[in-house]
Amino acid sequence: MPGIRTVGRPMNIKEKWYLFEIAKGMMVSIRHLVSNIFHQDRMPTLQYPEEKRVLPERFRGRHRLTKREDGTPKCVACYCCQTACPADCISIEAGERPDAGEKVAVRFDINILRCVFCGLCVEACPVDAIRMDTGKYELSSDSRKKLIYDIDTLLND
Ligand code: SF4
Ligand code: SF4
């Protein structure tokens, strides 16, 4: 056809009769299959979920809120993480600690469905109250509601 150019060498008769090429491809697959059966230790895949990947130290997993020595949340409800979050997935409500007169988060929700795991919330926190060092990455659930982590979930992770 005018305007169409073939690239590379023309196919020979064996290649044109494609069954030979299919057989060649199948042989490669069978070779790998047999090799993987007898040398499972050399396979690059993991037997997930029985085997888990070793994560790098700086892996950003599911969030947690840290606590002070007396067990109360470190968070001072400054909204820095909420402001820094590019995905708008943090929602905080501030209250006051009755004993110390300090600001404290009374509601702290992270909508993990929106989270892009950028870590900006952790960087923005001035008091190291939020971390992503849980190493948890299996976040599936049967309901969207369960994927909005509230303050109790985040404090106990
Ligand atoms: S990791 Fe990024 S997207 Fe997720 S909550 Fe923190 S700032 Fe928002
Ligand atoms: S987690 Fe840190 S940045 Fe976010 S509101 Fe609490 S103190 Fe502020």
Q: Encode pLDDT of 98-134 as tens digits.
A: 777 889 999 999 999 999 999 999 999 999 999 999 9
What pLDDT is stored for residue 121 in this prediction?
98
3-state secondary structure (DSSP) of residue 111: strand
Are 51 and 106 in contact, with CB atoms under 8 Å apart? Answer: no
What gap in Å lies between CA 13 and CA 134, rounded to an integer? 59
DSSP tag of 148:
E
What gap in Å lies between CA 117 and CA 60, rounded to an integer? 7
The model's pTM is 0.76
Q: Which CATH class is domain 64-155?
A: alpha beta
Residue 136 predicted with pLDDT over 60: yes
Distance 97 CA to ligand 1 centre (A): 26
Domain boundaries, the chain: 64-155
Question: What length is written for the chain?
Answer: 157
Backbone angles phi, psi at 110, to 5 degrees: -120, 120
What gap in Å lies between CA 61 and CA 94, rounded to an integer? 25
pLDDT in tens, 28-54: 999 999 998 999 888 888 888 998 888
State which of 59, 60, 85, 154 you would mutate to test the pocket of ligand 1, scoring each by most atoms of that ligand within 8 A of its C-beta.
85
What pLDDT is stored for residue 97 in this prediction?
84
